[in-house]
Structure 1
Amino acid sequence: MKDKKATLKDIAAEAEVSLSTVHKALYNKPGISERVRKEILAIAEGMGYKTNYVASSLKRKLLKIAFVVPLPNSGTNRYYYRDIWKGMRAFQAEAAEFNIEILDFGFSGPLSNLPKHLEEVYQNHCDEISGLVTLAVEDPAFTYFIDQFSKRSVPAVFIVSDLPQAKRLCCVRAQDLMAGSLAAELISGFTANKGKALVVSGDIMVSTHYMNVTGFEQYFAKAQDRMDIIKIYNRRDPEHLYYELVELLRSDPEISAIYSCTATNTPPVCKAVLDAGRTGTIKVIGSDLFQESREMLLSDVLQAIIYKKPFKLGYLGCRTLFNFLVKNEFPRSDSIFIEPIIVLKSNLPFYERDITADNAYETI
């Protein structure tokens, strides 16, 4: 019959195995070889069979996913991590019927504290968790504990930043090289490559920050008319950055453009431009969309925003791990990239809802 849904009996007949064997393959039960399991899964997929994930979830034990990400309530983290947590919460609400719980292991302070928090999760919760969502940092202790989780069959999905040599399932991240290149192209058009371009980034040891700067530099390396580029990596507090920028902008009139690679640095960059009396003489590109960056765009302190959609990073990081744990689906790629968007005053109304919205992007 046309459009007839395949049943377990149909799959068993096609694979020439018992119903019990088909059930073990589809629901990842022990008692069959990996070769047989893969053959049955391929047949089921070819016949269009869809597992009833809700029903199967009710039969298995509760799956717990550890979410180890900086909290959004610690100072400047609210500009970026707030939306990552919103993405996680949106997924958590969708996954409620699948017998999944996301454990909140958020932490305050700098990213350098992450290995210590991973150690605490490993020591106190490794036996109860089935997966891990976290960021990556260049630190031997971080790599060590990710390796320990892997040895205990706890897969990890990285979001925001990557460390490919660590034993993770995949990384969900913004296309940072593209973000830097987009900012450079905008600045080139705004300034006709006249003057100097100032790039303000975060921590050179964090891949997302470094790759943003790299993308910016690569664009001008290929350009016929190149701008002189000044780089500032700010690992200190925003107030220190603000005073450093005010002094620099007052002393160097040739600076004609600024790109803030991070959401954290965007407010002090805008404030420095205002207080140095350089509004209108400097073209400024900010990062990510939040209330302060929206206001600066509307008041013409910012000319554009490179929006890296952190909500989607949090949501897809959890969803990718869910697909692996529940659906036995491997990530479509080693790295899942989120394409950045250029937000200008003309298209700002289309994205303003993202400042407060908690909507998900896809359903399970």
Structure 2
Amino acid sequence: SNETGNLPYLSQEVNTFIGGSLVPRIIVDISQENLKDAQILAKVGYRYDMLLDKYHMGEQSVDFVYLADSLPSFTMPANLKQVYNYKTWFTIKDKTNIHPLFTLEEFVHAKHKDSSLNMVQIRNADLTSSLFESLQLDKTIVFIVETNHLHGMADQRQFFRNLQEIGIDNPVIVKRSYQKEDFSGPIGEFMNPEEPISKIQLYASTDLGALLIDGLGSGIWIDSPATALENLASLSFGILQATRSRISKTEYISCPSCGRTLFDLQETTQMIRSRTNHLKGLKIGIMGCIVNGPGEMADADYGYVGAGPDKVTLYRGQQVVKKNVSSSKALDELIKIIKDDGLWIEEIEE
């Protein structure tokens, strides 16, 4: 049972970067990438400009990269935090923006710790262990909660409940690991190359999203060796966006299309996206007809709804703003409404 109900896990803030009222943070593992090439960081939102010798950040730049025991041969961006296994972290001389990842046992026995941020791997079952009882809690600790439980989401949910009962408020980053064998089909079956992407989207969204919507978790870490790094970063931001815990892009809400749909939904969505996808945080509903459209796009800021052959009705929230606009002019009219509301920003071209 969900004893926590809808009560969030209220954590303290660590190092002014994790926990408290801050948005959930994202960790990705780059230890298997080519760490001699700064361009690999473009996959996690940091584009390296060779001419200017600097990095450009985007709206979907991750917060932490995990390097395990591998050291990069290039200079990392100043605002990207790095995480190393404890023993490797200990050997690094300049520890600016560099933090350790401990096993629970390592942290309990370690003589040297980071002065600001220490990540400690833990499972729900560890909370009743003598090792955990000997843990010296301090404000630098961020727990990385993992699970090997069959019902992993419920196991991790119980972890938060247990921490609340003990009275611990350290931030928790939820980590889920998906092995390559989780994405292999039966022998001889032709697999769509997209299937590993759609599967990890389904698994991770269910496992992590169910916690985040209840206010549980100060960050996420999706570990999936079968998934390309850029897809993992995008998926992480997508989950946070869908749970409304961290907004990083424009949101499009569209109907599944049916016999009543009055325009090519995919083509129209792409057309609208091409002009508006830089409007971070805005929700635009794109609905094929007037019958179900307004209901399905209930939380959209603006709506583009088919009203008849070659006719579109434009909404602000649930209110009709313009009726029966010609399809050829509808997008321009929608943009004008957004501009009139003071919510338009010009796209910055790099």
Considering Cα pairs closer than 8 Å and 6+ residues apart, tell me whether 1 or 2 has the greater RCO: 1
Query: What TM-score does the superposition give when structure 2 sets the normalisation length?
Result: 0.26
Task: Judging by fraction of residues, say which structure has more helix.
Answer: 1
Query: What TM-score does the superposition give when structure 1 sets the normalisation length?
Result: 0.25
Task: Judging by fraction of residues, say which structure has more strand.
Answer: 2
